[in-house]
């Protein structure tokens, strides 16, 4: 592989692999070790939650997410937001790694997005083997939201830079 900047490629690749390792590590933890509902109940008094919680409920992967279970609701939002953020970061790291090469520079955004979604799918499959965890295809969709945000954002930044330099 021909590199544009060997040092940059190695640094970005190490960061990407470390982040993938962190995702794998957290996915291997049983849910009981990640449950933040008791901490939420300790930090946010019930009266505050009841006053400020919007009255929203919806189904997600066959289960009801409802304001009537406020700490479950808050944890759901935090966990899904975390999924979006962790795969947004993975996509960014893949794009930076691939843009440090000559061969994949032009396709780095698409390839980085594809690699991130494939890793999300493999992560959900991995979770299906962990006690107390489940793997859900819909979670790959949530992860893909983060992938899409970064891929589109990065592409937009490149387009604006190209447009400005052409002026």
Q: What is the pLDDT of residues 96-108, one digit of tens each?
A: 999 998 888 789 9
Contacts of 100 (CB under 8 A, 6+ apart): 3, 4, 5, 8, 9, 12
Q: Tokens 């997410």 belong to which residue?
A: 65
Residue 87 in contact with residue 80, Cβ under 8 Å?
Answer: no
Tell me the percentage of the chain whose pLDDT exceeds 70. 98
Residue 129 to residue 135: CA distance in whole angstroms: 8
131 pLDDT above the threshold of 70: yes
DSSP state of 3: B
- Cα angle 76, 28, 79 (rounded to 5 degrees) comes to 15
Question: Which of 109 and 31 is assigned the larger pLDDT?
Answer: 109
SS3 of the chain: helix, strand, coil, percent, to 5: 70, 5, 20
Query: Which residues does residue 59 pair with via DSSP β-bridges, in sequence order?
Result: 64
Residue 144 to residue 142: CA distance in whole angstroms: 5
Q: What integer pLDDT is reported at residue 17 of this predicted model?
A: 98
Question: Which of 14 and 41 is assigned the larger pLDDT?
Answer: 14
**For range 68-74, the mean pLDDT:** 90
2 pLDDT above the threshold of 70: no
Q: What integer pLDDT is reported at residue 141 of this predicted model?
A: 95
Query: pLDDT class for 134, splitting at 50, 70, 90?
Result: confident
Q: What integer pLDDT is reported at residue 4 of this predicted model?
A: 66
Q: What integer pLDDT is reported at residue 30 of this predicted model?
A: 81
């Amino acid at each position: 592989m021909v590199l544009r900047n060997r040092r940059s490629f190695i640094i970005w690749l190490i960061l990407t692999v470390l982040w993938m390792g962190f995702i794998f590590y957290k996915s291997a933890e049983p849910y009981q070790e990640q449950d933040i509902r008791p901490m939420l109940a300790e930090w946010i008094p019930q009266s505050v939650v009841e006053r400020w919680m919007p009255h929203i409920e919806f189904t997600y992967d066959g289960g009801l997410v409802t304001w009537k279970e406020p700490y479950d609701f808050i944890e759901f939002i935090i966990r899904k937001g975390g999924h979006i953020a962790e795969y947004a970061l993975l996509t960014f790291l893949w794009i930076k790694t691939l843009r440090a090469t000559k061969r994949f520079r032009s396709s780095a955004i698409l390839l980085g997005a594809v690699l991130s979604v494939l890793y999300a799918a493999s992560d959900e499959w991995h979770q299906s083997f962990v006690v107390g965890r489940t793997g859900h295809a819909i979670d790959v969709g949530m992860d893909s939201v983060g992938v899409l945000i970064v891929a589109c954002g990065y592409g937009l930044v490149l387009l604006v830079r190209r447009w400005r330099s052409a002026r």
